[in-house]
């Protein structure tokens, strides 16, 4: 996320380009590289890291890039569901990391099992926007029961 996005209409276009490269283009490249093997073996799980910040216009480039990543995930999901390849967008929430900062709401450990949930779901759970914090304090098995 760019350091400053306030006011968001004055964010330098290069910040948008950089942010899209990291949050949209890089995941697309990874999907393109790994998807053929997943299709060949008729099984695969793709997990994109999204953010609820996408609904915050004051976060400009970052919010737009996460919205684009969610759209990409939903579009791929429609085409891949019948092939037992899932793709989901999972939001870790506000985490105490370099991005979230020390005032973030949650410790890193709270995203488990929510962030790995997408690797274990059935083929029916695809194209979903999942909030990792919804599964906070749950075992992986309990989280799977909640989502499936």
Helices (H), the chain: 13-20, 26-41, 60-80, 140-147
- Catalytically annotated residue among 8, 62, 76, 135: 62
**Would you say 54 and 1 are in contact if contact means Cβ atoms under 8 Å apart?**
no
* Cα–Cα nearest to 108, from 116, 96, 91: 96
- Rounded to a whole number of angstroms, the distance between the first and last alpha carbons of the chain is 32
62 is catalytic: yes
Residue 49 Cα distances to 7, 9, 120, angstroms: 25, 25, 16
Integer Cα distance of 48 and 28 in angstroms: 10
Looking at residue 99, what DSSP letter applies?
Answer: T
**Residues with catalytic function:** 62
């Amino acid at each position: 996320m760019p350091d400053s996005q306030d006011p968001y209409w004055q964010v330098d276009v290069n910040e948008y380009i950089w942010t899209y490269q990291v949050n949209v283009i890089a995941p697309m490249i990874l999907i393109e590289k790994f998807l053929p093997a997943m299709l060949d073996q008729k099984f695969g799980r793709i997990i994109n890291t999204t953010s609820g910040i996408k609904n915050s216009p004051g976060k400009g480039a970052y919010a737009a890039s996460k919205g684009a990543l969610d759209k990409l995930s939903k579009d791929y999901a429609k085409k891949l569901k019948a092939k037992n390849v899932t793709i989901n967008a999972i939001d870790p929430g506000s985490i105490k990391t370099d991005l979230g900062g020390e005032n973030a709401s949650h410790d890193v450990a709270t995203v488990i099992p929510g962030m790995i949930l997408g690797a274990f779901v059935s083929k029916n759970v695809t194209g979903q926007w999942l909030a990792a914090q919804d599964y906070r304090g749950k075992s992986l098995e309990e989280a799977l029961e909640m989502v499936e």
